[in-house]
Structure 1
Amino acid sequence: MIETRGRHGGSASTVGGNAATVDSPVEAEIDAEAHLPAKTERESREPDPPPNGGTVAWLQVLGSFFLFFNCWGTVNSFGVFQTYYENNPYWSETPSNISWIGSIQAFLLLMVGVVTGPIYDRGYFRTLVVIGSFLVPFGFMMTSLCREYWQVVIAQGIVVGLGNGFLWVPSVAILPQYFTTKKALANGIAAAGSSCGGICYPIVFRALEQRVGFGWATRAIAFIALGTLTFSICIMKQRVMPKQKRKLLDLDAFKEGPYTLYCVGMFLAFTSFYGPVYYIQPYAIQTGLTDTSFGFYLLPILNTASVPGRIIPNFVGDYIGPMNVLVPAAFLTGVMALIWIGVSTLGGIIAFACFYGFFSGAFISIAPVAIVALTPDLRKIGTRMGQSFFVCSFGLLIGTPVSGAILTSTGRWIGVQLFSGILLLATASAFFAARTCHVGWKLKVKA
């Protein structure tokens, strides 16, 4: 028997400590392939297709639900802080200045997401979630100690905003790894967490602020955030690693009409959408439609209606196409913002909160799914989504302060209502133009 040499010139391999002779160079080659390190074998193997169901997959939806619950949920809850800060005993600022706190928080949510996207692509999913899960409760803890306006801007606006930014990308990026055929439904269920956070946090804050004061009411929110985010850390995991690292920019995308029109629509949407969310409570209280005790619950009512608005249209979108849901949802949200002008009774403002919450929830939650339909090369979806978030972030930054400045300068609510309504109708027009450029005028096309 002749001992052969391996491909690297070494002697024949041994298995289990017993020498194993090889009869030919061909067998030596086969034997070497069979004993390649397991890690290399895993790296060369294509990942299994998304399961589209099962316990592990739906646990990711639940974990993403709680990430939404805290990142967008805290943004959707700022209206209750807006109302409190306008009458708080520590400092006095205009509604426009106060709204900068919430707008900075929302701006950082999307802006930081542009940077954390490539970090996520490098496999740091858990790191991002852990950092965000620390910053959000920490920011609220520090807010509970604040006694000056600038301190609240730093603690609630910047620190919580940064934490939200670290949570945002993992909350949306993890679901496509587990779902393809049910991705819109899964995204809608997860996105409903933002509405649930917008229900829970205002009620908790209002109930506790009256009993134990601002400090402990805000700390209670911090403890809820810490508990729910810890749950997400425990159950969520990245299923596959991207083969290619995502580029931060794809400027050629703006040469495509549908994508550019979509980004314009999203900028207009986030500039105008949060006007009613931030100001529905002050409007109802200051115009005498209700007293302070009930006025604080209008925001939770709006967010409650947003829960089915985020799930049902997304379910429909899996069958008829996300753009075919996005356009009418944005249009009806704009119509509701204009109907707000004629609301003059308590029943009317409650009905407005319900309808506005439903339709706005629909177009906000399905918008990230719609961009997939406008992207020919899905390998660039992360970059294109990041760029659209970057554009949207400036709408979030300026939208509510502009509404507050209109209110301060005119002293009338009709300017705020027209600002939101007209821009939301312009949003629907931009989305319709994007759909038309993409698939033409055919109404029965799944887009």
Structure 2
Amino acid sequence: MTMDKDSDDWIAKSPATDALIIDGGADLNNTLDPTLEFPTYTRYAVVASCFVIQGLSCGLVHSWGVQQEYLAANVYVGETSKIKTLSYIGTLMYFSLYLWGMLAGWLAEVWSYRKLCFVGIVIMAIGQLLASFCKEPWQLCLTEGVVFGLGIGLVFSPTSTAPARWFTKRRGLATGVAVAGVGVGGLVIAPLTEFLVRETSVEWSLRISAIYIIVLGSIACYFVRVPFQDKTRTLRSFDWHAFGDWRFAIHAWMVFFVTAAYIVPYAFLPEFWVDNGISSQTASVLIAVANVASSVGRVATGFAADYIGVLNSLVLCLAIASISCFVLWPFATGIGVGVVMGLCYGFTAGGYWSLAPLAAGKLFGVDKLASNAGIFYTVSAVGAWLGGPAAGAILSGPGHGTNFIGMSAYVGALWLAALVLAIVNRSLFSKRFFAKI
């Protein structure tokens, strides 16, 4: 086998490899081990670079709340309509993160993982820079929500799926480490943003973020690649056959239910705790515990998937997340149970994001993992858009802002629906109860 090392994706020239790549639906474990063809450090560089890009993109999404709070409290004081417009920006970011998944996954496979990530990084930096000159909230919606949102949408799918292409025995752990960048990025960038806003201004915090995005992101992009890529595919060769597979539809619905449920506890648990007499400072610590647990869960569940199987780990994660909402949330009125709720929910809900791309590869083949996972991320956008407002409507219904029991039951039911669908696909893959799947 000869390798074109000048190509940004190091394309394999072996006919046998080409056949393997073009033939979809192969099991992950039957894919050629890239460690036999590439230096060991290459795959670790891929994981590290994906970790950095995930941290930059999602970390900035998580830190927007700091800038939003400052603008609402100091710039647009008393201007209700403008403050309401500001609240849409975070939703737009979250929505865009998934909306462009289908396009990004497709472009990564037919064009280049590395080049696509670089384009996304540049668009992210431009969005932040343009936002620094905005004077009105609607302008921030366009720059932060749309432009920056497009950038993070282009990098999220490739960096979520690239590590799985480099590993066979530790594929779950590699993916878990890469997507753990989301939580670590939030833990680092949110305090940094708060410091920059306090010491300089929102405008300069955005400009400085544009600088470190382009510097750190460009360096990381260089190492984002996959070992083997089918260069015979073109922009016109999108594979629509997946939509005819009902297992694909089952997995897509599972993704929809998870994404509709995922963000609700993070958004409403602080309000629930304060409503039950816990101070706002303590509530912020409890939600921070959930975020830390989320980062740990992304790595730990990926590690577990290597030993007990991806689909088995996914079923277990969904089950515990559902139980957390049904059983723990209604009784998390004190600090003790609140910590347990944060740990259990954060660990398993975060762990899902490690397992989601791995499960797609297990069910539908690793050779088209980016495009398939991208489709599921686009489905996630719909769930992200609908899940929060529906939860808010339940909360503001009977009880007038205090119907947290109804909200927890709603979120638990979404996780339960996802669990049932995951079990269906797991049983279709293998009916052996103790099989490592």
Is this a same-fold pair by TM over 0.5?
Answer: yes
**Which residue is equivalent to 1:362?**
351
CA contact (8 A) 1:96 1:400 kept: no
**Which residue is equivalent to 1:62?**
48
Question: Which deviates more, 377-386 or 161-170?
Answer: 377-386
Partner Cα separation in structure 1 for residue 287 and residue 215 of structure 2: 23
Partner Cα separation in structure 2 for residue 273 and residue 56 of structure 1: 33
Please show how residues 378-417 of structure 1 align to structure 2 within 5 Å: 378-408=366-396, 410-412=400-402, 414=404, 415-417=406-408
What per-residue deviation string (whole Å, max 9, x for no partner) do you get for residues 33-56 of structure 1? xxxxx99xx874356840177212
Partner Cα separation in structure 2 for residue 317 and residue 43 of structure 1: 28
The answer on 1:171 being equivalent to 2:159 is: yes
CA contact (8 A) 2:97 2:149 kept: yes
Question: Compared with structure 1, are the counterparts of its residues 76 and 413 closer, same or farther at alpha carbon in structure 2 (3 Å cutoff)?
Answer: farther
Letter in 1 for 2:401: G
Partner Cα separation in structure 1 for residue 156 and residue 83 of structure 2: 27
What per-residue deviation string (whole Å, max 9, x for no partner) do you get for residues 48-69 of structure 1? 8401772121011100101211
Please show how residues 3-402 of structure 1 align to structure 2 within 5 Å: 44-45=13-14, 49-51=33-35, 54-77=40-63, 89-90=75-76, 91-92=79-80, 100-245=88-233, 250-285=239-274, 288-292=277-281, 295-338=283-326, 339-375=328-364, 378-402=366-390
Partner Cα separation in structure 2 for residue 275 and residue 251 of structure 1: 32
CA contact (8 A) 1:129 1:167 kept: yes
Question: Compared with structure 1, are the counterparts of its residues 251 and 239 closer, same or farther at alpha carbon in structure 2 (3 Å cutoff)?
Answer: closer
The answer on 1:445 being equivalent to 2:432 is: no
Letter in 1 for 2:113: F
Partner Cα separation in structure 1 for residue 237 and residue 257 of structure 2: 23
Partner Cα separation in structure 2 for residue 273 and residue 157 of structure 1: 20
SS of the equivalent of 1:51 reads: helix
SS of the equivalent of 1:103 reads: helix
Length, aligned pairs only: 405
Radius of gyration: which is bigger? 1
Letter in 1 for 2:343: C
Equivalent of 1:419 in 402, 406, 410: 410
Partner Cα separation in structure 1 for residue 318 and residue 83 of structure 2: 26
Identical amino acids, percent of aligned pairs: 24
Deviation at 1:288, TM superposition (A): 4.4
What per-residue deviation string (whole Å, max 9, x for no partner) do you get for residues 118-175 of structure 1? 3222333333122211222332344444443322321221112101112123313432
Could you tell me which runs of 5 or more consecutive residues in structure 1 were left unpaired when the two chains were aligned: 1-37
CA contact (8 A) 1:248 1:383 kept: no
CA contact (8 A) 1:146 1:152 kept: yes
Letter in 2 for 1:433: V
CA contact (8 A) 1:103 1:400 kept: no
- What TM-score do you get using the length of structure 1 for normalisation? 0.79
Deviation at 1:325, TM superposition (A): 0.4
**Which residue is equivalent to 2:23?**
none
Partner Cα separation in structure 1 for residue 232 and residue 84 of structure 2: 44
What per-residue deviation string (whole Å, max 9, x for no partner) do you get for residues 394-433 of structure 1? 1122222333444455322514433322211221122112
Could you tell me which runs of 5 or more consecutive residues in structure 2 were left unpaired when the two chains were aligned: 1-5, 18-31
